[in-house]
Amino acid sequence: MYAAEAEYLAAGGPGKASFAPLAPFFSPDVVLHQAHALPYGGIWRGHEGMERFFVAMSETWDVFDMVDQSFLSETDPLVVLTHVHARARATGRELDFPILQTITVADGRITEVRPFYWDTAAIAAVCTNYHSADDRLPRS
């Protein structure tokens, strides 16, 4: 699935490439849970939801490279630790961060994905012109 996702994004991704190569990896009723604090946060359902999720990701990130992946569990649920290097489309700022995902599979297809982010505030901040309260404090 990760290889198919990389090919999909390399071919232009949402709106430019067909979702068809990715579809066989996902159950028709797949559910993706993204942290609500993220620009692409929320619950995405089914193949149409996954397509809309990839559009939201593409609108958020100019670069989203999965630099390194470790499969911590290869039994259901799968557990994957991914190191990401990303560049926000709106700001041009870059960030490196980990994502830990649990992936449930039934009949050879992904039925549920739950990514866990270390710091959703840092991800949201790099995607907007928001600065933390610490950035507004006077320096001595």
- pLDDT tens profile 74-95: 888 999 999 999 999 899 999 9
Task: Quickly state the pLDDT bin for 137 (edges 50, 70, 90).
Answer: very low
In degrees, to the nearest 5, what angle opens at C-alpha 6 toward C-alphas 9 and 79?
A: 130
pLDDT tens per residue across span 7-63: 776 666 667 777 788 889 999 999 999 999 999 999 999 999 998 888 888 888 888
Overall fold of domain 2-128: Nuclear Transport Factor 2; Chain: A, (3.10.450)
pLDDT at 98 over 50: yes
Q: What tokens appear for 97 in the block?
A: 């961060």
Task: Quickly state the pLDDT bin for 2 (edges 50, 70, 90).
Answer: confident
